């Protein structure tokens, strides 16, 4: 079966919902939804190596924790195709190299721009940083609100999901893990 353009499928969806895709408010909606979905899922066509773009720097003197907190993100839940959004916090312990600061946010962006589960998203970010930066360890914590829980189902507005992935020293050394989590808590005060 040949793939249909998304806009044709959206037009069929509108008809199936009982709408008239030719009415004034919906004219152009299939095109807009197609462009929107292409933007929101562009992470499938992005190359993680190009994201890092060799922005690595030798780090013979710096072996202290590097943390980037409060990286805003939006993604789409793969179960309902509804958004979830929140903040991602990343820490790593450099070994031989450090990475350009913006690259951590870009890694988050690549994986957010796919249909996702928050648990998988958290792991993908941590595993990618571990593989590409090769630090002593990586910690990633994501705090997010899910519209699939807020707008439908239980319809609870205050619930927030928190996930973490701890690799290397963040998994094996409780002091390292505690330092990261404490520095994150300090951010909330």
Note the helical H segments in the chain.
Answer: 6-16, 29-40, 48-52, 101-112, 118-133, 147-150, 169-172, 174-187
Domain that holds residue 12: 6-40
- Residue 93 pLDDT greater than 60, yes or no: yes
Q: Are residues 74 and 158 in the same domain?
A: yes
Q: Are residues 61 and 149 in the same domain?
A: yes
Q: Is residue 135 part of a domain?
A: yes
Instruction: Give pLDDT tens digits for 126-151.
Output: 999 999 999 999 999 999 999 988 98
Q: Is residue 46 part of a domain?
A: no
- Comparison of pLDDT for 63 and 70, the residue scoring more: 70
Q: Are residues 14 and 62 in the same domain?
A: no
Q: Are residues 59 and 144 in the same domain?
A: yes
Instruction: Give pLDDT tens digits for 29-67.
Output: 999 999 999 999 999 999 999 999 989 988 767 678 999
| pLDDT at residue 188 in the model | 61
Q: Are residues 61 and 29 in the same domain?
A: no
What is the percent of the chain with per-residue pLDDT over 90, rounded to a whole number? 79
Q: Are residues 148 and 71 in the same domain?
A: yes
Q: Are residues 94 and 124 in the same domain?
A: yes
Q: d(Cα 97, Cα 103) in Å, to the nearest integer?
A: 13
| pLDDT at residue 1 in the model | 47
Integer-rounded Cα radius of gyration of the chain:
20
| pLDDT at residue 59 in the model | 76
Q: Are residues 99 and 135 in the same domain?
A: yes
Q: DSSP assignment, residue 162?
A: E
Q: Is residue 45 part of a domain?
A: no
Q: Are residues 75 and 101 in the same domain?
A: yes
Q: Are residues 25 and 60 in the same domain?
A: no
The total number of structural domains in the chain stands at 2
- Residue 153 pLDDT greater than 90, yes or no: no
| pLDDT at residue 122 in the model | 98
The pTM of the whole model exceeds 0.75: yes
Q: Are residues 83 and 149 in the same domain?
A: yes
Q: Is residue 50 part of a domain?
A: no
Instruction: Give pLDDT tens digits for 77-91.
Output: 999 999 999 999 999
Q: d(Cα 91, Cα 39) in Å, to the nearest integer?
A: 28
In 3D space, the residue among 173, 159, 168, 182 whose CA is nearest the CA of residue 69 turns out to be 182
- Residue 189 pLDDT greater than 60, yes or no: no
Q: Is residue 138 part of a domain?
A: yes
Note the helical H segments in 23-173.
Answer: 29-40, 48-52, 101-112, 118-133, 147-150, 169-172
Q: Are residues 86 and 22 in the same domain?
A: no
- Residue 23 pLDDT greater than 90, yes or no: yes
């Amino acid at each position: 079966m040949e793939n249909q353009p998304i806009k044709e499928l959206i037009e069929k969806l509108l008809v199936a919902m009982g709408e008239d895709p030719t009415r004034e408010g919906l004219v152009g909606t299939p095109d807009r939804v197609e462009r929107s979905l292409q933007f929101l899922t562009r992470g499938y066509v992005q190359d993680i190596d190009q994201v890092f773009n060799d922005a690595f720097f030798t780090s013979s003197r710096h072996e202290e924790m590097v943390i980037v907190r409060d990286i805003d993100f939006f993604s789409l839940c793969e179960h309902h195709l509804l958004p979830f959004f929140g903040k991602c916090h990343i820490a790593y312990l450099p070994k031989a190299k450090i990475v350009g600061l913006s690259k951590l946010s870009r890694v988050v962006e690549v994986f957010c721009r796919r249909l996702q589960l928050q648990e998988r998203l958290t792991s993908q970010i941590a595993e990618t940083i571990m593989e590409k930066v090769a630090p002593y360890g990586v910690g990633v914590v994501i705090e997010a609100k899910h519209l699939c829980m807020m707008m439908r189902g239980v319809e609870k507005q205050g619930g927030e999901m928190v996930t973490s992935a701890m690799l290397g020293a963040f998994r094996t050394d409780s002091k390292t893990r505690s330092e990261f989590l404490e520095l994150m808590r300090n951010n909330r005060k």
